[in-house]
Amino acid sequence: NAMAAVRDVEIDPEGTFKYILVRLQRPGGGEQRDIVRGTGAAEFHNHIFEKVNPEMEKLGYECKCLGGGKIEHNSKDKKIRVFGLSTGYGKADHSVTVEILKKEYTDYEIIWSDDKK
Q: Please name the residue ranges forming H helices in the chain.
A: 2-5, 45-58, 94-104
Count of other CB atoms within 10 angstroms of residue 22? 25
Catalytic: 73? no
Contact status, residue 37 vs residue 48, Cβ threshold 8 Å: yes
Q: Which of 45, 47, 73, 94 is catalytic?
A: 45
Radius of gyration of the chain (CA): 14
Q: Which residues pair with 74 in a beta bridge?
A: 79
Determine if residue 79 is labeled as part of a ligand binding site: no
Q: Which residues are annotated as a binding site for substrate?
A: 18
Residues designated catalytic: 45
Q: Which residues are annotated as a binding site?
A: 18
